[in-house]
Chain A
């Protein structure tokens, strides 16, 4: 089967904020379209600040939230037409998530290997406990861990970096063709951050998995991505090849984002000034709009 792996056509999501006096509509995602081809695995990055709608977009791609307008096709199938537990399971075999906070990704009262074995049981032919462990171990090996390191462990016994790698290993067990990673490194310590990001490269190159990498961090985005889109208040303001866009952003918002990235080269004092356009603006309006509404999704 050729054709796009993932295709978004005019996808929008509107939330209603109901008050006693009138309702307000809030466009979390506004008319987003892009496609990821099936034959070339890639790291596709969605960049945005809080309130840009990037998490809502990820949840729609994961079929956890239905778009209010537009269509999402995965391997030619409209996600909205997917009905029933069986169809959902087939979809989940192909598309797996990685979430932001590795400490929250596993139930603190349960052992982490449980999720690995459960995934293996539900999405692979493995049945016996030895087969299940072998499947989990194979996935863990890909992220530089082994079943011995996680067997019987509770989440709080592992570090954030380990947990995030276990989460990635779990996502790999079904052999997905796409992984949606929502801010996967923002809660991971600096010394381990690059190991996660490097892992994405390996997954793309060796396992041919496409990765949708959702982040606010331009530097890791530049380091790992093939293509990017930059979102602001639900809309895509700029898209294209990651290197081209980030080296020479065209849209004023992209330029603003890039200019705000702090360079890790020390300048000594006095380089930071409060006179940038954004700070003037922020100071001029005493009641900036509540711009980071990310409604909790049922």
Chain B
């Protein structure tokens, strides 16, 4: 399979690349079989030293997607098809033996999660948690390791005293900062941030975002940043992918997506954002997000789409490059914009029709 994006960058500059990734939940309970197609054919890549944002509503599959790229697949979730390639392993993540797969974690690939309490052990002091997570990956002596942790905290402008604290003694914002420090200690090439600021108050949120941004640019890591809050994406991400019902519907440079949203769903999301100083009435989308156990045929957005055409009911639009570094999966958008000429407009795996 050749390169799937229209980007002129060479393949080596990708840190992560997924190809037609499908991850389904397959459940069997007391005779009821169910298949939830939470990630259904996502092809994307994350470049070196960038923050790639993923936006989408609850149950659009964004959490499943990051589980898939983080090799955190447990039944009933299964990888059904597709590839997850990282440049630091030069290979498909799921082709690795599971032992090597877990060795990647933390050293090359780390996470910042929403609930810091899930990461920080409530009955251990912070420095113990640092040891638990990172010591064996750092390959150094204990005192050397402690020095390194202190240096790291200093670099992130966190006081060294927090190492002696228990998680509950810290405020939510401080705990989240500790998690960021923990995730970046081994200077991983890739960081997955899953709603890292959603539970925080607005004032704290801004500072934590700033810290994430600074840390990321200092270490040159690449990052996937998942949140449903578009205002956060506007402020932190370089490129943005919009997910809807298990698929990527639009992807581009954040500024382009905001200034020129091409998918009607994206356009709606951006138009409905309230702004202080503007009381212009905002319209809401009608209908509800589809169930991933029984998604609509064709374009999954068509039942709610103001631009829906006949073809949308039957065929699934492929993610097509419609402007520089800007891909959209919409028949209506493709009809009004000519795909940029020197590229193949579609990649084959996205053309598979939905059952």
Residues of A within 8 A of B (CB): 49-50, 158-162, 189-195, 197-198, 216, 218-220, 222-223, 243, 246-247, 256-258, 260-274, 276, 278-279, 282-284, 286-292
Q: Taking A264-B231, A274-B157, A274-B214 as contacts, is the C-beta distance between A288 and B270 under 8 angstroms?
A: no
Shortest CB–CB separation between residue A167 and chain B, in angstroms?
15
Measured between beta carbons, the chain A residues less than 8 angstroms from B211 are 274, 279
> Which of B165, B283, B284 has most A Cβ within 10 Å?
B284
Q: Which residues of B contact A267 (CB under 8 A)?
A: 234-235
Instruction: Name the 7 nearest CB pairs between A and B, nearest first.
Output: A195-B284, A279-B207, A189-B57, A288-B171, A49-B201, A272-B210, A219-B274
Name the distance in Å between B203's Cβ and chain A's nearest Cβ.
4
Size category of the B interface is 35 or more
Please name 9 pairs of A and B residues whose Cβ atoms are closer than 8 Å in the assembled complex, sorted by A: A218-B202, A219-B231, A220-B274, A222-B279, A223-B279, A265-B234, A266-B259, A274-B214, A283-B159
- Let me know if B324 is at the binding interface, CB within 8 A: no
Known: A269-B213, A283-B159. A246 touches B203 (CB 8 A): no
Q: Indicate whether B172 reaches chain A with its CB closer than 8 angstroms.
A: yes
List the B side residues contacting A263 at CB < 8 Å: 231, 234-235, 275
Known pairs A260-B203, A260-B206 / 16 extra A-B pairs, C-beta < 8 Å: A190-B230, A191-B284, A192-B285, A192-B288, A223-B282, A243-B279, A260-B202, A260-B205, A261-B231, A264-B275, A266-B234, A269-B217, A271-B235, A287-B169, A288-B171, A292-B171
B258 at the interface (CB under 8 A from A): yes
> B295 in the interface, Cβ–Cβ < 8 Å?
no
Q: Please state if B171 and A290 are interface contacts (CB–CB under 8 Å).
A: yes
- Within the complex, what minimum Cβ distance (angstroms) separates B1 from chain A? 32
**A195 to chain B: which residues have CB within 8 Å?**
284-285
- The contact of B203 among A194, A256, A273, A287, by CB within 8 Å, is A256
Q: Select from chain A the residue with minimum beta-carbon distance to B157.
A: A283
B232 contact from A218, A220, A246, A262, Cβ within 8 A: A262
Min CB gap A158→B, angstroms: 8
- B235 near A266 (CB under 8 angstroms)? yes
Interface residue? B238 (CB, 8 A): yes
A292 in contact with B172 (CB, 8 Å): yes
CB contacts (< 8 Å) of B159 on chain A: these are 283-284, 286
B101 at the interface (CB under 8 A from A): no
Asked whether B228 is an interface residue with its Cβ less than 8 Å from the other chain, the reply is yes
Contact A288 B174 (CB under 8 A): yes
Q: Given contacts A263-B231, A266-B258, A288-B174, are A190 and B276 in contact (CB under 8 A)? A: no
- Distance, CA A93 to CA B276, complexed state (A): 35
Contact A222 B230, CB 8 Å, known A260-B203, A272-B236: no
Cα distance A209–B283 when bound, in Å?
A: 21
User: Residue B79 at the A interface, CB < 8 A?
Assistant: no
Are B162 and A262 within 8 A (Cβ)? no
Instruction: Give the tally of cross-chain contacts (CB within 8 A).
Output: 177
Known: A189-B58, A190-B269, A266-B255. A282 touches B277 (CB 8 A): no
Smallest distance from the beta carbon of A100 to chain B beta carbons, Å? 13
Whether B276 contacts A261 by the Cβ 8 Å rule is yes
Q: Is residue B321 contacting chain A, with contact meaning CB distance below 8 A?
A: no
- Complex: chain A residue closest to B213, CB-CB: A272
Q: Is A246 a contact of B276 with CB atoms below 8 Å? A: yes
**CB-based contact B210/A191 at 8 Å:** no
B206, A191: Cβ atoms under 8 Å? no
Q: By the criterion CB–CB under 8 Å, are B203 and A278 in contact?
A: yes
Q: Which of B206, B254, B284 contacts A272 (CB 8 A)?
A: B206
CB nearest to A51 among chain B residues: B201
Report if A161-B231 is in contact (Cβ < 8 Å); known contacts: A194-B272, A262-B206, A263-B275.
Answer: no
Distance A276 CA – B202 CA, assembled complex (angstroms): 13
Q: For A256, list chain B residues within 8 Å (CB).
A: 203
- Given A191-B284, A279-B207, A279-B210, the answer on whether A50 and B201 have CB atoms closer than 8 Å is yes
- Contact status B170-A287, CB under 8 Å: yes
* A-facing residues in B166-196 (Cβ within 8 Å): 168-174
User: In the complex, what distance in Å separates the CA atom of A163 from the CA atom of B272?
Assistant: 20
CA distance A24 to B217 in the complex (A): 44
Return the chain B residue nearest A287 by Cβ.
B169
Chain B residue contacts of A258, Cβ below 8 A: 276
Complex contacts, A288 vs chain B, CB 8 Å: 170-171, 173-174
Q: How far is B255's CA from A197's CA once the two chains are assembled, in angstroms?
A: 27
Do the beta carbons of B207 and A282 come within 8 Å of each other?
Answer: yes
> Most chain-A CB neighbours within 10 Å: which of B159, B203, B238?
B203
A160 B58 Cβ-Cβ under 8 A? yes
CB proximity of B179 to chain A, nearest CB, Å: 15
Could you give, for residues 260-276 of chain B, a 1 whenever the CB lies within 8 Å of some chain A CB and a 0 otherwise?
00000100111011111
Query: Counting CB contacts under 8 A, is B289 at the interface?
Result: yes
0/1 per residue, B282-323, Cβ < 8 Å to A?
111100110000000000000000000000000000000000
- The answer to whether B161 touches A286, judged by C-beta atoms less than 8 angstroms apart, is yes
Which of chain A's residues have a CB closer than 8 A to the CB of B207?
A: 274, 276, 278-279, 282
Chain B neighbourhood of A292, CB < 8 A: 171-172
B213-244 interface mask toward A, CB cutoff 8 Å, 1 = contact, 0 = none? 11001000000000011111111101000000
- Residue interface mask B97-131, A partner, CB < 8 A = 1: 00000000000000000000000000000000000
Cα distance, A96 to B48, chains bound together (Å): 53
A90 shortest CB reach to chain B, Å: 35
B333 lies within 8 A of chain A by Cβ: no
